[in-house]
Chains A and B, each alone.
Chain A
Amino acid sequence: MDEAPRNQYSQGEKDRIFHQEFMPHVNSMHNFAYRLTLDADDAKDLVQDTYLKAYRFIDSFQQGTNAKAWLFRILKNSFINDYRKKSKEPSKVDYQEVESYYNSDDVDRQITPDLRVEALKDMIGDEISNALNSLDVDFKTVIILADLEDFKYDEMATILDIPIGTVRSRLHRARNLLKEKLANYAKSMGYNNS
């Protein structure tokens, strides 16, 4: 977040921006927070902290720009700085390790797992949600941003502070990992994928 104030909004303008531009994203924000923390109380605290920070730094929000992306960036940074450390289940995989492994010689290598639409559509319970939750946080994040929230690559690059090329390759990897988990699940349920 660029915290340098660019504007000096009046109290009325601040309230209008907060209620009309920030609050409508509360469902998406809560979903993101819950999937990052995997804890109902932590998720609520994280969303509340994010909104308080957004209000405090509202002068650095430029009207007409994407409020949702601005809020998601604050939430992501708050999670990394304040919650990831105390998370009950810290990320088991070292970030650099993941990135260098998946960005190694062949980023576009195809490891498309064998999963069929029919098997996927029979997953009517929590299988997909659980599979998403079980991904490493960096992979989970790009799927949430792209598939649940419809952010564009350039917006994701800004939210995550990474180059667009990394967004693209990480998203590709993340989708393959998710499909791999779902394919394993389908297999365990007796689906013949071949």
Chain B
Amino acid sequence: MEEPDKSKMKTDCPEKQQCMQLLQRIMDGEATDAERQHFIEHHLNECLPCYQEYHLEVALKEMLKSKCTGKAPSDLVEKIKSAIDQNTIM
């Protein structure tokens, strides 16, 4: 996404509440394509608070995914498989 000229953007969003609700739905993949397209391609080019909030949400989601996920311990997988085998025999 091309960086808009921040000096020309609105510093106050007249529809902040609706925008924040829409932003949540966009982040969660629940917005329609039209809503998403309008918000990202038009609204974010002219509204500084929404632009900043959107980028914060995107960064937070990326950080959560990279910092808060991981692999299960390898012995756990083996333990589960052998527990199931025993369960099956019983």
What is the interface of chain A, defined by CB distance below 8 A to chain B? 11, 18, 23, 26-31, 35, 44, 47-48, 51-52, 55-56, 108, 110, 112, 115-117, 120-121, 123, 126, 128-129, 132, 143-144, 146-148, 150, 152-153, 168, 171-172, 175, 178-179, 182
Contacts and interface: CB of A to CB of B under 8 A. Distances in A.
Interface string B27-67: 01110000000000000000000001101110111011101
Contacts of B28: 146, 152-153, 171
Interface in B76-90: 76-77, 79-81, 83-84, 87-88
Given A55-B87, A121-B59, A128-B68, 14 more contacts: A26-B77, A27-B72, A30-B71, A30-B73, A30-B76, A47-B80, A115-B56, A116-B56, A117-B52, A117-B56, A117-B59, A126-B67, A129-B67, A171-B24
Contacts, number: 106
A49 to B, nearest CB: 9
B84 A179 contact: no
Interface of B: 16-17, 20-21, 24, 28-30, 52-53, 55-57, 59-61, 63-65, 67-73, 76-77, 79-81, 83-84, 87-88
Q: Interface majority SS on B: helix, strand, loop or mixed? A: helix
Contact of B17 (A56, A110, A152): A110
Q: Interface majority SS on A: helix, strand, loop or mixed? A: helix
A171 B59 CA distance: 17
Contact of B83 (A52, A120, A126, A128): A52
Contacts of B52: 116-117
B86 to A, nearest CB: 10
A132 B68 contact: yes
B85 to A, nearest CB: 10
Contacts of B71: 27, 30
Contacts of A146: 28
A148 B68 contact: yes
A182 B88 CA distance: 47
Contacts of A132: 64, 68
